[in-house]
Amino acid sequence: MAQSKVVAHRGAWKNTGAPQNSLESLKHAFEMKCGGSEFDINRTLDGKLVINHDADYAGLRIEEHTYADLNKTKLKNGEDLPLLESFLKLAKKYPNTLLFAEIKVAPSGAAASEKAAEETWKMVKKYKLLKHTVFISFSYEATLKLVALDKKAKVQYLTGDKSPDVLKAAGIPGLDYHFSVFEKNPDWLKKAKSLGLSTNAWTVNKQEVMESLLKQGIDYLTTDEPEMAMGL
């Protein structure tokens, strides 16, 4: 498979031993020359954007705790709880890999997700990485906020409950759906392409599913198995 299509899900961790969503896993994805590397963003009580999959870290709700409190627990490899800013600084050295920046759904509600989306966009802009970043979210409100802020922003909606036509009409320029959504809606990839939407699927770890989506012309495949995908 063209390496430009392969997006490492939470970095390249599965076959490298690096923790998911760590600077180490991001660096592995960069050094493997993946087309993209995906990571998850949550916002702390004191407004830091941190990289972690869950809304909780070390048993603490991220949005209700300060970064200093959260970072008392380190990642398994000894890293600090990563900051978005550290990810962006590293990314400046690897311009050939796109960043797939997922704004997580905030437990306190849509307004908090929108705020995290806006602050993420501002930080990406500050580092001059807007052309290298695809913003993704399960929060429909967050995706709408991003396209309202920047009509050129690369944005993909994750939930899978909206057809390509609905996204196009809302001004959202891409979709990143669970692969089963494309199996249930076999005309959606073709439709999305005809509307000029960018297309992506998560989390595709099986060769036969990758091959089926590639045949349908998908733009990106998000996978825990980037080494395998790049070998196809």
Q: Is 40 in the site for Mg ion (CB under 5 A)?
A: yes
Distance of closest approach, residue 186 Cβ to Mg ion, in angstroms: 25
Q: Is 225 in the site for Mg ion (CB under 5 A)?
A: no
Q: Position of tokens 């809304």?
A: 55
Distance of closest approach, residue 8 Cβ to Mg ion, in angstroms: 11
Distance of closest approach, residue 64 Cβ to Mg ion, in angstroms: 21
Instruction: Quote the CA–CA distance of 230 and 232 in Å, as a whole number.
Output: 6
Instruction: Quote the CA–CA distance of 58 and 38 in Å, as a whole number.
Output: 21
Q: Is 176 in the site for Mg ion (CB under 5 A)?
A: no
Instruction: Return the range that interacts with Mg ion (CB under 5 A); candidates 57-65, 96-104, 160-168, 188-196.
Output: 96-104
Q: Which is nearer to Mg ion, 7 or 197 (by Cβ)? A: 7
Task: Count CB atoms within 10 A of the CB of residue 81.
Answer: 23
Distance of closest approach, residue 132 Cβ to Mg ion, in angstroms: 18
Q: Which is nearer to Mg ion, 16 or 137 (by Cβ)? A: 137
Among 24, 102, 114, 219, binds Mg ion (CB under 5 A): 102
Distance of closest approach, residue 69 Cβ to Mg ion, in angstroms: 24
Instruction: Quote the CA–CA distance of 15 and 227 in Å, as a whole number.
Output: 8
Q: Which is nearer to Mg ion, 102 or 224 (by Cβ)? A: 102
- What's the token pair of residue 150? 């920047």
Q: Position of tokens 């709880």?
A: 81
The dihedral through the CA atoms of 170, 171, 177, 183 has a sign that is positive
Question: E strand or H helix at 187, and its extent?
Answer: none
Looking at 120-215, which runs of residues are DSSP E strands? 133-137, 154-157, 174-178, 198-202
Residues that bind Mg ion (CB under 5 A): 40, 102
